[in-house]
Amino acid sequence: MKKVLVTGGCGYIGSHTIVDLINHGFDVVSVDNNINSDIRVMDGIREITGVSVRNYTVDLCDLEKTRRIFANEQFDGIIHFAALKSVGESVFQPLRYFDNNLNSLINILQCAKEFEVENIIFSSSCSVYGNTTALPVTEATPFQAAECPYARTKQMGEHILQDFTHVNKNINAILLRYFNPAGAHKSALIGELPINPATNLVPVITETAIGKREQLTVFGNDYDTRDGSCIRDYIHVMDLANAHTKSLQYLMEHKNESNCEVFNLGIGEGVTVLEAIEAFERVTGTKLNYKIGDRRPGDVGAIYADNKNAAEKLGWNPTRSIDEIMSSAWSWEKYRSEATILQD
């Protein structure tokens, strides 16, 4: 059984990926300092899979503590999610984002080299493309200027990995550029659980619908799009999770053509913010209280993926629609609200 380290394993995408990895026969170890996550997600993972996953509560910016994890285990691969990820927060706290996101990655790579871990999957983002006018976006689309410090850390992280693998030929890396993860596991036992106020659209929609927020703000209706609101490529989190498993298998089966490859992960279609709201209302039968506000700093007008590369090389094809995203997210929102009531 291959052993995989998942950094940020208590986080949203990390937890769903752990479930997918376990379902495909991997032994998983997590590291997460829980500054933006909740260790209780491991209870949900155990209930879904029947497996108790070990989590090291370690800040990856601490090299010595990170080294101890690698000294205690023998990993066949690393999936590196751990990072600060709020676009808006990064605009006002740039140094915190550069310090955390880049130093944690550098420490992971130093340990991968020292302890001879050959396979690395890096959690990147479509934000690396900036405010591109080339749609749909392919892996060859040139980077534009980053719209926020978070996006810049992802651009820099990719460059670090490209330079690192260029001189460490025995280490293979895949850079996965996510578009907009959303939704929850079908069990409703795990889902997006923001510790700080949610900024991603789908949890803001569900929190508004259930009454945790008085109103949702649509940030701008004057973009050059079909209804004036931003266009995004929403991908179900379990489809996204499976891409990580397939990426590891791809490297472990030596199918890669170079030791650093890039894949877009999206469904290949754009949905506007207003269309996403309409989909939620249609699927759940719940009307949403929302208003139109000003544009939000750091947002790009439109971006969606060309995912042919991932389909052809990884054999990955997303299967869940925007309706399934909204339905599963709503089930998760109701589940966690009921759980909170019971605890109170």
pLDDT per residue, tens digit, the chain (344 aa), is 899 999 999 999 999 999 999 999 999 999 999 999 999 999 999 999 999 999 999 999 999 999 999 999 999 999 999 999 988 899 999 999 999 999 999 999 999 999 999 999 999 999 999 888 888 999 999 999 999 999 999 999 999 999 999 999 999 999 999 999 999 999 999 999 877 778 889 999 999 999 999 999 999 999 999 999 999 999 999 999 999 999 999 999 999 999 999 999 999 889 999 999 999 999 999 999 999 999 988 788 888 899 999 999 999 999 999 999 999 999 999 998 886 543 43
CA distance 80 to 25: 19
- At a CB cut-off of 8 Å and minimum separation 6, what does 57 contact? 31, 32, 33, 34, 39
CATH architecture of 3-182+235-267: 3-Layer(aba) Sandwich (3.40)
- Closest alpha carbon to 80 in 156, 174, 169, 183: 174
- Inter-residue contact 162 to 182 (CB < 8 Å): no
Residues serving a catalytic function are 150
Q: Residue 48 is encoded by which pair of tokens?
A: 């879904």
pTM: 0.93
C-alpha dist (Å) from residue 114 to 46, 68, 111, 159, 260: 32, 12, 5, 20, 19
Distances in whole angstroms, Cα of residue 312 to Cα of each of 6, 173, 269, 271, 317: 25, 18, 18, 24, 9
β-pair partners for 142: none
- In this prediction, residue 97 carries a pLDDT of 98
Report how far apart, in Å, the C-alpha atoms of 88 and of each of 137, 150, 249, 294, 329 are. 23, 9, 35, 14, 23
Closest CA to 183 of 338, 335, 322: 322
Q: Helix, strand, coil shares of the chain as percentages rounded to 5? A: 45, 15, 40
Position 340 scores a pLDDT of: 55
Residue 132 is predicted with a pLDDT of 84
Kind and range of the H or E run holding 261? strand 260-265
- CA distance linking residue 25 with residue 273, whole number of Å: 37
Cβ atoms of 320 and 236 within 8 Å: the answer is: yes
Cα 109 → chain centroid = 20
